[in-house]
Amino acid sequence: MAKTAKGKSQPDISPAELEESDAIPGSRPTQEEIEFRAYHIYLERGDNDGSPEDDWLQAERELSEAIE
């Protein structure tokens, strides 16, 4: 994983790779996909009012719904 200026870890997967995922309908998102989305949720909300756990759960929920 790459480090950002604030020392946060950034997944080594590009947005294009995430969109081109060969997910099987009904399967669960991979840990790497969830991590990537959670990181972007963190960036979108900024460094306030939130937690990594909330970001992770939101990412997992969004990606699971997208696969269905």
**Per-residue model confidence (pLDDT) at position 66:** 87
Give the model confidence (pLDDT) of 1-54 as tens digits: 444 545 556 656 555 555 545 556 667 899 999 999 999 999 999 877 889 999
The reply to whether the predicted model has a pTM over 0.85 is: no
Scored b (16 or more CB within 10 A) or e, 15-52 reads: eeebeebeeeeeeebeeebbbbbbbbbbeeeeeeeeee
**Per-residue model confidence (pLDDT) at position 49:** 83
**Per-residue model confidence (pLDDT) at position 27:** 79
